[in-house]
Amino acid sequence: MSQVRGDSSTDDAVVGLANNVPGKSGVFGFNAAAGGNGVAGISDNGNGVFAKSTNQFGLFGTSDNGDAILGVANSAAKSGVFGNNVSTGDANAPGGSGVFGLTVAGGAAGVFGANNHPTKGRGVQGNGPEAGVGGFSDTDHGVGVLAESKNIGIKAQGGRLAGRFEGDVEVTGDIRLVNAADCAEDFDVSGTQEIEPGTVMVIDQEGALEPSQRSYDKRVAGVISGAGGLKPGIVLDNQQSRGNRMPVALLGKVYCKVDAQYSPIEVGDLLASSPTPGHAMKAADPLKAFGSVIGKALRPLQAGQGLVPVLVALQ
């Protein structure tokens, strides 16, 4: 049986007050038995335990040999521990945390989240205007992630960017780019019209790029990336601009607009700009081809116009 019991239909069942007594608790519970709870709260339709503070922690947990705060949710759609900061004070003041974790023990986590569901849910989930989950450390990792076997340590998905790093990035393993095949660079593009991926581009008199218009143009710069389902793997010189900027493949594989009416294209043929705007053709004349070659065809095209994968190699 409980040593202290409260039962009320109109007010708080149990109230504990510690008025101006430093280091003391309004409600204190202690249980020396293994697996027992010092204080337990259960609710069918509200908060099992509700904590509020005007100048310190709403809920504070400390432990000598276990979890300071352990949250378990048996409902698939609920959180083991849920923290929310709704402060609307000074916008210039340091940001508060919905959940804040601190550890001084080697190898332990300030905040630890685990989800045993095989396909759904998150160990830790955060939502905030500045950062959903923030980590800070004076001596080691701000946020440390470990995934065993072949699992993913961090999975990120964003509207504009999945991730942003301000500073150097060190990678000790491979960087694998899925459905990304070329190294591209953003260039200013003349005019405001939308240019389709796969278009052959040349340098204009102002140093910007425009679609090619003539055969064997030595001003050729490359091909607009993104055609045929292949995205650029790396985009250099990506910057905000009020002008029109597009990624141009400089190295690797890219789908290119080609026109075979001038000569059928076979695998391995060198390609140069053609009289068809924005299209390449077989570089059949070796003397004219020097300095105007875009790359090497990886598939044939016997007639008409189409997209052909090209190994970009400007020469």
Given 135, 170, 205, the domain boundary residue is 170
Q: Please indicate, yes or no, if residue 219 is contained in any of the structural domains.
A: yes
Please indicate, yes or no, whether residues 140 and 195 belong to a single structural domain of this protein. no
Do 208 and 187 meet the contact criterion of CB atoms below 8 Å apart? Answer: yes
Please indicate, yes or no, whether residues 1 and 144 belong to a single structural domain of this protein. yes
Q: Comparing 41 with 268, which gets the higher pLDDT?
A: 268
Q: What is the mean pLDDT of residues 58-64?
A: 68
Question: Is residue 18 over pLDDT 70?
Answer: no
Q: Please indicate, yes or no, if residue 175 is contained in any of the structural domains.
A: no
Q: Please indicate, yes or no, if residue 109 is contained in any of the structural domains.
A: yes
Burial 266-296 (b: 16+ CB within 10 A, else e): eeebbbbbbebebbbbbbeeeeebeebbbbb
Question: Is residue 24 over pLDDT 60?
Answer: yes
Please indicate, yes or no, whether residues 27 and 158 belong to a single structural domain of this protein. yes
Please indicate, yes or no, whether residues 73 and 184 belong to a single structural domain of this protein. no
Please indicate, yes or no, whether residues 123 and 250 belong to a single structural domain of this protein. no
Question: Is residue 202 over pLDDT 80?
Answer: yes
Q: Please indicate, yes or no, if residue 248 is contained in any of the structural domains.
A: yes
**pLDDT tens-place string over residues 232-264:** 888 888 877 777 899 999 889 999 999 999 999
**What is the value of pTM for the model shown?**
0.59
For residue 269, give the CATH number of its domain: 2.40.300.10
Given 170, 205, 222, the domain boundary residue is 170
Please indicate, yes or no, whether residues 144 and 224 belong to a single structural domain of this protein. no
Please indicate, yes or no, whether residues 142 and 222 belong to a single structural domain of this protein. no
Q: Please indicate, yes or no, if residue 283 is contained in any of the structural domains.
A: yes
Given 144, 170, 196, the domain boundary residue is 170
Structure tokens belonging to residue 210: 């425009």
Domain of 198?
180-312
Please indicate, yes or no, whether residues 124 and 212 belong to a single structural domain of this protein. no
- Nearest 5°: phi and psi at 288? -75, -25
Please indicate, yes or no, whether residues 108 and 82 belong to a single structural domain of this protein. yes
| Per-residue pLDDT, 250 | 87
pLDDT interval class at 22 (50, 70, 90) = confident
Domain count, the chain: 2
Q: Please indicate, yes or no, if residue 268 is contained in any of the structural domains.
A: yes
Cα–Cα dist 276/214, whole Å? 7
Q: Please indicate, yes or no, if residue 17 is contained in any of the structural domains.
A: yes
Q: Please indicate, yes or no, if residue 210 is contained in any of the structural domains.
A: yes
pLDDT interval class at 101 (50, 70, 90) = low
Please indicate, yes or no, whether residues 7 and 156 belong to a single structural domain of this protein. yes
Please indicate, yes or no, whether residues 236 and 141 belong to a single structural domain of this protein. no
Please indicate, yes or no, whether residues 263 and 289 belong to a single structural domain of this protein. yes
